């Protein structure tokens, strides 16, 4: 007979793991203790089912507190109903307690031993006599009613019915066999020693499962290795498994699916878990798929596939996933988000993220100190470990257990080791994701881990594309596998432990010989390599970023590194003349380049990004502009460059940074024809006099000429430029604009000095954002234009006076004035004084109309230029939206509204 249970309260998430007994036996001692119940107890124990029986022959009528706890600590209660069962108040109290525990997921099975279940349900015969006797004795109608209700409820639960025409031994064996077969898949799973943070995540996934609905639901749980996917899946299983006709939790599917035998074993385990038949043999994978579909199609099942990394694994276990009966639930855990996407809208997904600061603190301390709080003198050390783990439960667990009971010097030494030599157990789990990548994807992962963590996605894609690594498809795969993330600013980010793992993979290429590794990121390794001139063609990338300025005599050190693709050098000084750089370079990041020229034979054909800001470069560098792949050029703060050479051979440049090139006089005419150029920075090029005569730049989005005081004339605009949205021209020496200035039809932000306004200018008619840098009064024509607009405006006023064209003015924290009966469109400007030591301030503004706040959104942000402490505010933005459909409640006594 099938085991039938009712739906309990699934909020009792982790009570299962602390159960002391598999089975609790409730019985009337004088009736069955020395016969049936004793035989049942022995048979259960022989089968390995941990069973509780009360051997107190006196069988006192008052149930003890210890017995209550024993009932609570059991997975299943078996109630042996004999004809005198109800005469025992202790048995009836046990029964009430058992049914209370049933509401908290405990399984209950009755045995009707020579008793008709209808006699108990209707409370006739001996059971009616017993209850009548109790009513007369106790004069407590409420207590007796609880017993009546309990008897009625349990009589309706499916159980076993023993009659004298049965052979008792065979009957007992049937009970034991059914419990034995059900034990493996009805017993809850061990979740975690300290299940910190599990409950909230399990509840969130339960909402996606929507257990109450009768349709089929599938949920995919994905996340980084070691983040707790399996642990959470086990917790969910324990919360809901009893609600299904069949259930199966298949662990470690990736490892077990490596052979056909392993897949067949998984299929047989699935069938056994749900059907309870140990003798089912699959034989082959295809036959196993058919057997699963045919055998389980009519059952409401819970199936959890844990550790899936290929769609094929799911298909071999669940077929096409179209056979499930109504109410079934399927959960898949994986490290690969993209694998889940193949199910389309038929599957909901949940990303498991690391523990928050509070959760990480608690979990680590439980393992390290066996309590929620660390020892007082270990607090700072504990916090260092927690920061190192970055919320990864696997790391917190392993490091906490490793440090438990150790003294402070050992902690400090271990901390240093964690930072430099990753824990092998943590690495073993994390490396599984790396091993699932193909060759180019592994190279992309290692390049990001060693050099590009925190860089712009587009920037990295452009560089790695020329390395034949196919990053356009490769990086999304890393993201899908939770190895890399992209933030809101489109920057690549890699979890610290993953970065550490990637770098350790490279270190293991040659643990004691850095020259034989593919990538060098630790500055001492790179420094030793250059000082000792021990390069090799194995090296593809070097990052030498010294924390302090260092001096190295460079000459031919790079001659042995023919395959060097990526070179990053910061804080290095040298004298003399550099004679060689590899032409295979794709990325050259050398701010403060100490030489006046590049090597004569350096002519890279695949260079993508060049950063030589603050360098001493002044001659012999035009050869780097012969690369068609060049996209990013940064010569900012290069004080020795006087003329930018011909760039026509580098037509794909996207960003050109020439800020603070204070001796730059002329920009070659070819720059005006760079159709791919998007951002062009010329801030504070104080000697710049000659720009290209004509701008024909389809993609230019931002041009900044702020501080170009020697520049008198703006170039001609030969065709409409739709992309140029931001143009900053104040302060400059420009006093003349071409008549074609109106071709800048895409302008959204224009910053001009006040003396430039007037009909000579030819402003485009629909500039939605107009910035005016001025500390004198504004031209009345422009004032009218701003007040009549419908969009937002940016007005930058670095001076101390408010322009007189503002109708209402106030210095202080508030301003109020009256407006007419009709709520108008109006402009509001707020200026804020700021101190030196800040980077990003947000301000809150309240507006009240008739003492009521309308729906109002205000965003204020100030951006700081730390390079110029005398003029720290370089840009100020204000955005405010008011819901004018219902700005305030109607005034009771007047039609005016006060602002």
Which is nearest to 193 in space by CA: 364, 332, 70, 307?
364
Contact 78, 111 (CB under 8 A): yes
Residue 395 near residue 389 (C-beta atoms within 8 A): yes
DSSP state letters, 252-288: -HHHHTTSHHHHHHHHHHHHHHHH--TT----SHHHH
In sequence order, the 6+-apart residues with CB closer than 8 A to the CB of 347 are 218, 219, 220, 332, 340
Candidates 382, 335, 380; CA nearest to 363 is 382
Instruction: Compute the distance between CA of residue 649 and CA of residue 674 in angstroms, rounded to an integer.
Output: 10
Structure tokens at 176: 């034991």
Give bridge partners of residue 875 from the DSSP assignment. 863
From the CB of residue 561, how many other CB atoms can be counted at a distance below 10 Å? Answer: 24
Task: Look up residue 114 and give its two tokens.
Answer: 């020579």
* First-last CA distance in the chain: 78
Contact 710, 642 (CB under 8 A): no
Which H or E run contains 859?
Answer: strand 856-864
Helix (H, G, I), strand (E, B) or coil at 660: coil
CA-CA distance, 736 to 715, in Å (whole number)?
A: 10
279 token code pair: 């003798």
* Whole-angstrom distance, CA of residue 22 vs CA of residue 342: 41
DSSP assignment of 344-356 equals GGG-EEEEPPPP-
Cα–Cα distance measured from residue 634 to residue 26, given in angstroms and rounded to the nearest whole number: 82
Q: Tokens 């002329």 label which residue? A: 666
- Rounded Cα distance between 478 and 332, Å, is 19
Residue pair 543/451 in contact by the 8 Å Cβ criterion:
yes
Contact 612, 633 (CB under 8 A): no
Q: Do 354 and 392 form a contact (C-beta atoms < 8 A)? A: yes
451 DSSP assignment: I
Query: Going edge to edge, which strands form the sheet with 770-772?
Result: 519-520, 541-551, 566-573, 587-589, 609-611, 632-634, 655-657, 679-681, 702-704, 726-728, 749-752, 770-772
Task: In whole angstroms, give the CA distance from residue 138 to residue 118.
Answer: 26
CA dist., res. 769 & res. 605, Å (int): 41
**94 a catalytic residue:** yes
**Cβ contacts of 443 within 8 Å, gap of 6 or more:** 467, 469
* Residue 339 vs residues 323, 333, 363, 523: alpha-carbon distances, Å: 20, 10, 31, 39
Question: Mind giving me the DSSP string for 354-396?
Answer: PP-HHHHHHHHHHHHHSSSS--GGGHHHHHHHHHHHTT-HHHH
CA pair distance 216, 723, nearest whole angstrom = 50
Distance of CA 150 to the CA centre of its chain: 49
Q: Rg of the Cα trace of the chain? A: 38
Q: Which of 848, 864, 865 is nearest to 856 (CA)?
A: 848
3-state SS, residue 824:
coil
Q: Which of 30, 83, 94, 153 is catalytic?
A: 94
| Structural contact between residues 364 and 375, judged by C-beta atoms closer than 8 angstroms | no
Q: Which residue has the tokens 């290929």?
A: 310
Q: Which residues are catalytic?
A: 94
């Amino acid at each position: 007979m099938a085991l039938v249970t009712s739906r309990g309260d699934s909020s009792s998430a982790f009570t299962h793991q602390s159960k002391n007994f598999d089975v609790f036996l409730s019985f009337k001692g004088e009736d069955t203790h020395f016969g049936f119940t004793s035989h049942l107890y022995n048979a259960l124990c022989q089968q390995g089912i941990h069973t509780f029986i009360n051997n107190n022959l006196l069988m006192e009528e008052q149930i003890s507190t210890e017995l209550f706890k024993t009932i609570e600590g059991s997975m299943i209660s078996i109630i042996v109903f004999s004809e005198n069962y109800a005469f025992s108040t202790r048995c009836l109290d046990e029964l009430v307690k058992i049914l209370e525990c049933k509401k908290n997921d405990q399984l209950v099975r009755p045995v009707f031993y020579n008793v008709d279940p209808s006699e108990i349900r209707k409370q006739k015969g001996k059971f009616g006599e017993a209850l009548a006797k109790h009513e007369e004795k106790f004069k407590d109608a409420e207590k007796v009613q609880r017993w009546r209700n309990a008897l009625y409820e349990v009589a309706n639960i499916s159980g076993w019915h023993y009659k004298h025409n049965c052979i008792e031994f065979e009957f007992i064996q049937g009970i034991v066999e059914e419990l034995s077969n059900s034990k493996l898949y009805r017993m809850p799973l061990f979740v975690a020693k300290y299940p910190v943070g599990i409950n909230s995540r399990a509840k969130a996934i339960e909402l996606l499962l929507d257990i109450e609905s009768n349709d089929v639901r599938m949920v995919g749980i994905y996340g980084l290795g070691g983040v707790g996917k399996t642990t959470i899946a086990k917790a969910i299983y324990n919360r809901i498994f009893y609600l299904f006709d069949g259930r199966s939790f298949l662990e470690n599917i990736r490892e077990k699916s490596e052979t056909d035998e392993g897949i067949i074993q998984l299929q047989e385990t699935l069938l056994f878990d749900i059907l309870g038949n140990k003798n089912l043999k699959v034989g082959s994978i295809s036959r196993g798929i058919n057997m699963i579909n045919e055998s389980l199609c009519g059952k409401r099942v819970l199936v959890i596939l844990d550790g899936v990394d290929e769609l094929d694994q799911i298909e071999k276990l669940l077929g096409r996933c179209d056979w499930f009966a109504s109410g079934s639930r399927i959960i898949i855990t994986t490290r690969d988000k993209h694998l889940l996407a193949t199910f389309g809208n038929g599957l909901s997904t949940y990303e498991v993220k690391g523990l928050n600061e509070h959760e990480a603190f608690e979990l680590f301390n439980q393992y390290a100190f066996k309590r929620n709080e660390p020892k007082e003198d270990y607090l700072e050390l504990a916090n260092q470990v927690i920061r190192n783990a970055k919320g990864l439960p696997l790391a917190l667990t392993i490091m906490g257990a490793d440090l438990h009971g150790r003294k402070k010097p050992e902690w400090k030494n271990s901390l240093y080791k964690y930072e430099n030599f990753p824990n092998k157990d943590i690495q073993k789990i994390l490396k599984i994701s790396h091993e699932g990548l193909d060759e180019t994807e592994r190279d992309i992962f290692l390049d990001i881990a060693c050099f590009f963590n925190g860089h712009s996605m587009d920037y990295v894609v452009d560089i790695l594309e020329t390395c034949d690594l196919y990053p356009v498809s490769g990086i999304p795969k890393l993201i899908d596998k939770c190895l890399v993330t992209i933030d809101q600013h489109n920057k690549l980010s890699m979890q610290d432990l993953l970065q550490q793992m990637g770098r350790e993979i490279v270190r293991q290429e040659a643990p004691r010989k850095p020259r034989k590794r593919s990538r060098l990121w630790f500055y001492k390794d790179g420094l030793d390599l250059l000082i000792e001139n021990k390069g090799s063609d194995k090296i593809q990338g070097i990052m030498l970023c010294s924390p302090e300025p260092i001096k190295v005599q460079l000459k031919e050190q790079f001659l042995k590194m023919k395959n060097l693709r990526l070179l990053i050098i910061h804080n290095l000084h040298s004298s003399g003349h550099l004679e060689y750089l590899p032409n295979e370079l794709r990325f050259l990041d050398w701010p403060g380049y100490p030489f006046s020229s590049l090597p004569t034979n350096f002519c890279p054909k695949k260079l993508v990004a060049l950063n030589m800001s603050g360098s001493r470069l002044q001659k012999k560098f035009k050869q780097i502009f012969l690369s068609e792949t060049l996209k990013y050029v940064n010569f900012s703060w290069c004080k020795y460059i006087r003329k930018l050479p011909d760039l026509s051979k580098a037509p794909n440049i996207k960003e050109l940074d020439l800020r603070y090139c204070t001796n730059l006089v002329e920009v070659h005419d070819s720059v005006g024809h760079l159709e791919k150029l998007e951002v062009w920075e010329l801030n504070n090029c104080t000697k710049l006099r000659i720009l290209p005569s004509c701008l024909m730049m389809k993609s230019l989005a931002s041009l900044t000429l702020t501080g170009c005081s020697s520049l008198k004339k703006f170039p001609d605009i030969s065709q409409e430029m739709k992309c140029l949205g931001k143009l900053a021209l104040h302060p400059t020496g420009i006093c003349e604009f071409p008549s074609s200035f109106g071709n800048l039809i895409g302008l959204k932000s224009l910053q001009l000095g006040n003396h430039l306004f007037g009909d000579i200018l030819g402003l485009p008619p629909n500039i939605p954002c107009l910035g005016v840098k001025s500390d004198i009064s504004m031209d009345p024509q422009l004032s009218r234009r701003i007040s009549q607009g419908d969009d937002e405006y940016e007005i930058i006023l670095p001076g101390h006076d408010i322009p007189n064209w503002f109708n209402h003015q106030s210095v202080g924290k508030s301003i109020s004035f009256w407006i007419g009966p009709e709520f108008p469109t109006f402009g509001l400007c707020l200026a804020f004084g700021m101190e030196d030591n800040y980077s990003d301030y947000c301000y809150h503004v309240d507006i009240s109309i008739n003492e009521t706040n309308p729906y109002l959104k205000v965003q204020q942000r100030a951006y700081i230029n730390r390079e110029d402490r005398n003029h720290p505010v370089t840009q100020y933005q204000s955005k405010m939206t008011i819901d004018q459909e219902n700005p305030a409640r109607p005034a009771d006594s007047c039609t005016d509204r006060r602002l």
